[in-house]
Structure 1
């Protein structure tokens, strides 16, 4: 098993919150650090939350990690102005990516949008396109750009426009075939899962763009079951070889490694009720 550490920004949103939960439950990760402006309701032994002001975030606020997942995003209505929208969707991700590069984090994953294009006639897509362009120019060791279609799932906040779009896309889903398939709505939980799969098994190249239709099909590779021969399976002497102790795994956040604590104690098995 690998011992990986991850950092997540934008963890209070629809995809970010799903991503944090999946990372904490994943066997590959022993440490998940969230940088957020407010506390999370979700807790886990692997999880550490750092409350920070993104306008004043510094290099020391970002520790080492194998991946930094950026799920920052808002709407113009919620932000209150185009200026504030660009802060959240453009300036903050770019600043965090720059700090991640300085800290030597090898992989930066960022959510943009399906129509991201700096020359788009639509303001939202232009901002996302500018972000992609500047991130590529930053020269990150590995950059994965996640371009989902309309995200669906249970939000803490109600967004009338997105709810209406979600219903329309669900009705039109059977008609979206061929090239139109990429416009299908996608579950935020699937996008979160796809990001982890990309981190662990994705293309090893400087910049990769993942469109929504590809994100929707990503699944964990099948792990072949270990073939244990009958001789070993029923050879109790063989199975009982070695030191007979119990071991507990302890997370050491400072060193990001597993340490073993040996506990000498007997193991008692409860006898099964014969009536069952």
Structure 2
């Protein structure tokens, strides 16, 4: 099958890319990024600074499934608007483009605590993208809701690093839903979800990805 992967330079997206390229289930992985990725015979790597502008060309490659592992923080993005562009607007733009192009399978990384009614801008945005991606009408939709994500990142997040260390220390006494979710496990879960492609909308929660 052909996979379109959004967010291939992030922690989860990077591991998803590695696992997909080593899995014979995937004949082609298209992963648009800002900077070139390491070459691979099955990798198509368009370079762009405005991801949404590539949507028509990417859909012309006729992917069988889309995985959206896009995600940032307000501190890194620089503003609420810039954060919302990455975590809400792009997933919805590509969701609509994919559905229009006949793609029936979509998987997205959200967050534990996502709710459109949340007082937190971060969790409210995640809840809104969950709500609106469901309205598009995919035959198979998977929404992963991890807790804090463990694994290598391309940028330092000091507060998140401290929280990860604390969660690992307290793991023996914490409920499983508060354990660290390794990027490897989330990536494998995403790939399994699009290979199986169960009909309907399915949530996969943090305690299932420890």
Q: Is the 8 A contact 2:182 2:209 kept in 1?
A: no
Which structure would you say has the larger RCO, counting Cα contacts within 8 Å and 6 or more residues apart? Answer: 2
Superposition map of 1:16-165 within 5 A: 16-40=13-37, 42-52=38-48, 53-62=50-59, 63-165=61-163
Q: What's the CA shift for 1:110? A: 0.5
What RMSD, in angstroms, separates the aligned Cα atoms of the two structures?
1.3
CA distance in 2, matches of 1:170, 1:33: 34
- Runs (5+) with no aligned partner, structure 2: none
CA distance in 2, matches of 1:91, 1:81: 14
Structure holding more helix per residue: 2
Q: What's the CA shift for 1:55? A: 4.3
Q: What's the CA shift for 1:33? A: 0.8
Q: Is the 8 A contact 1:7 1:34 kept in 2?
A: yes
Superposition map of 1:213-252 within 5 A: 213-216=207-210
Q: Is the 8 A contact 1:59 1:102 kept in 2?
A: no
TM-score by length of 1: 0.73
Q: Whose radius of gyration is greater, 1 or 2?
A: 1
TM-score by length of 2: 0.94
Superposition map of 1:196-215 within 5 A: 196-201=191-196, 204-215=198-209
CA distance in 2, matches of 1:39, 1:192: 21
CA distance in 2, matches of 1:215, 1:181: 9
Q: Does 1:193 align with 2:191?
A: no
CA distance in 2, matches of 1:55, 1:205: 27
